[in-house]
DNA sequence: CCGTATCCTAAAGGATACTG
DNA sequence: CAGTATCCTTTAGGATACGG
């Protein structure tokens, strides 16, 4: 798959029953792992943290968009391609497969000719969308303030360089 | 800055008062833009959509992590570097500057020697963290189901290839 | 201590062509 | 229609060295 041989490095394995970190799996000094103990709430800053890998998937260039569209209704491959401005066939295919593998999206092939393939969110997918939607809403609500912050920052920088 | 001359392509400019797209800024057929009209809720699938650019920033490899750490307390550069496993000085520096530019993080230089620099979340930063936290919590809560879905998918795939 | 500058590699992703 | 395969460009990001 893909150019070389790389295909999702070390994820498929070692997904035992999760959560239990084991007694110091890696090197390094002792620091917190899943401090869900109470108020503190720190998620693992380690590279091998599974949450980080899942988040990286979710937050890639196209996933959120595909999920948002599929939350509205079941869609076919070409429909999605049309709706998502700028996506290549390759990336749509890969994105959908990842989402399917993660149990976010369900793919249904109708054995007709020409073939018809439907993509729909799973229950977990809808649950995810509810959460990501909040993030998009936040971004939308704050985009003006962010734009303002950027302008201010850039102006300050420009002023400094003019000295 | 950076290798060549690239520096945040088309963002610094044209951040007028935001929101108003203007009469068909780009090419392309007419489709929905900010359908916040009512229930529909579709965020712009276009490439030039500002929300997408902001989300891409937020969802990069390190931002969420830095924000999560800073939500707990003010931290110094080297502290952050120590806490975030695997980050390079370069990326920490860049991440923090982006967040500062976006108004998420506030940077305070104490004119001592050796220099001491504090990083803290702004009000907007704390607000953002409240939202992203929900996403992390979701991921955490569903990681076992995701792992299971992956295993199932991989097994199905392996079975198909064995035919 | 807190960075920036330079160099370089690896991964993401687009374009295109081809298949069931 | 719904993809896969191949090739190639662009970007992200690590390593290192140096500066204030």
Contacts (Cβ under 8 Å, ≥6 apart) of A5: none
A29 SS3 class: coil
Q: What is the pLDDT of residues B103-158, one digit of tens each?
A: 999 999 999 999 999 999 999 999 999 999 999 899 999 999 999 999 999 999 99
Nucleotide nearest to B119 (CA to C1'): C2
Which has more confidence, B125 or A163?
B125
What is the pLDDT, as a whole number, of residue A33?
Answer: 40
Q: What is the mean pLDDT of chain B?
A: 77
pLDDT at residue B93 tops 80: yes
Which has more confidence, B87 or A47?
B87
pLDDT at residue A35 tops 80: no
Across the interface, of B45, B65, B153, the residue whose CB is closest to A84 is B45
Q: Which chain A positions have a beta carbon within 8 Å of B20's beta carbon?
A: none
pLDDT, average across residues B83-92 = 94
Contact B149 A101 (CB under 8 A): yes
Percent of chain A whose predicted confidence (pLDDT) is above 90: 56
Q: Which chain A positions have a beta carbon within 8 Å of B15's beta carbon?
A: 147-148, 150-151
Q: CA-CA distances (angstroms) from residue B94 to A98, B13, B63, B89, B107?
A: 29, 20, 10, 9, 13
Q: What is the pLDDT of residues A100-141, one digit of tens each?
A: 999 999 999 999 999 999 999 999 999 999 999 999 899 989
- A–B: how many Cβ contacts below 8 A? 169
pLDDT category at A41 given cuts 50, 70, 90 is: low
Nearest CA to CA, how far is A16 from chain B (Å)?
9
Whole-number Å distance between alpha carbons of B98 and B24: 30
What is the pLDDT, as a whole number, of residue A42?
Answer: 60
The Cβ of residue B157 has, within 10 Å, a number of other Cβ atoms equal to: 12
DSSP alpha helix (H) spans, chain A? 50-58, 63-72, 77-83, 89-101, 123-161
Q: Own/partner pairs for B97-101, CB < 8 Å, 24+ apart?
A: B98/B57, B98/B63, B99/B63, B99/B66, B99/B67, B99/B125, B100/A153, B101/A149, B101/A150, B101/A153, B101/A154
Q: What is the pLDDT of residues A63-109, one digit of tens each?
A: 999 999 999 999 999 999 999 989 999 999 999 999 999 999 999 99
Percent of chain A whose predicted confidence (pLDDT) is above 70: 71
What is the pLDDT, as a whole number, of residue B39?
Answer: 40
Q: How far is the CA of B1 from the C1' of C7 (A)?
A: 14
pLDDT at residue A157 tops 70: yes
Q: Which two tokens stand for residue A76?
A: 């076919």
| Dihedral of the alpha carbons of B55, A102, A3, B161, in degrees to the nearest 10 | -170
Q: How far is the CA of A120 from the C1' of D4 (A)?
A: 22
Q: CA-CA distances (angstroms) from residue B156 to B142, B148, B160?
A: 21, 12, 6
What is the pLDDT, as a whole number, of residue B59?
Answer: 76
Burial grade of B159 (CB within 10 A; 0-12, 13-18, 19 or more) = exposed
Which has more confidence, A5 or B104?
B104
Contact B106, B119 (CB under 8 A): yes
Q: Which two tokens stand for residue A81?
A: 């391609």
Among B25, B44, B107, B140, pick the best mutation site for testing chain A contact (most A Cβ within 10 A): B140
pLDDT at residue B3 tops 70: no
Residue with minimal CA–C1' distance to D8 is: A3
Categorise residue A103: left if φ over 0, alpha if ψ from -120 to 50, beta otherwise.
left
Q: pTM above 0.95?
A: no
Q: Which two tokens stand for residue A105?
A: 């999206």
Contact A43 B136 (CB under 8 A): yes
pLDDT category at A49 given cuts 50, 70, 90 is: confident
What is the pLDDT, as a whole number, of residue B161?
Answer: 78
Across the interface, of B72, B133, B139, the residue whose CB is closest to A54 is B139
Q: Which chain B positions have a beta carbon within 8 Å of A148's beta carbon?
A: 15, 103
Q: Which chain A positions have a beta carbon within 8 Å of B121's beta carbon?
A: none
pLDDT category at B42 given cuts 50, 70, 90 is: low
pLDDT, average across residues A138-150 = 93
* Cα A47 off chain centre by: 16
Contacts (Cβ under 8 Å, ≥6 apart) of A1: A7
Instruction: Tell which residue, A122, A51, A103, has the closest CA to residue B139.
Output: A51
Helix axes A89-101 and B123-161, enclosed angle (nearest 10): 90
Q: How far is the CA of B6 from the C1' of C5 (A)?
A: 15
Which has more confidence, A57 or B79?
B79
Nearest CA to CA, how far is B114 from chain A (Å)?
22
Q: For A100, which residue in chain B has the nearest alpha carbon? A: B153
Nucleotide nearest to A89 (CA to C1'): D3
């Amino acid at each position: 798959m893909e150019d070389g041989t790389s295909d999702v490095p070390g994820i498929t394995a070692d997904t035992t029953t999760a959560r239990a970190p084991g007694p110091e799996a890696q090197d390094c000094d002792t620091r917190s792992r899943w401090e869900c103990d109470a108020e503190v709430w720190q998620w693992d800053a380690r590279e091998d943290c599974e949450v980080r890998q899942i988040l990286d998937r979710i937050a890639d260039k196209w996933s959120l968009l595909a999920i948002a569209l599929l939350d509205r209704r079941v869609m076919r491959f070409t429909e999605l391609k049309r709706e998502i401005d700028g996506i290549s066939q390759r990336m749509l295919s890969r994105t959908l497969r990842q989402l399917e593998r993660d149990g976010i999206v369900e793919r249904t092939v109708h054995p007709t000719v020409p073939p018809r393939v439907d993509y729909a969110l799973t229950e977990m997918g809808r649950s995810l969308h509810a959460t990501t939607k909040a993030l998009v809403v936040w971004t939308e609500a704050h985009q003006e303030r962010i734009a303002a912050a950027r302008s201010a920052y850039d102006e300050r920088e420009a002023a400094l360089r003019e000295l």
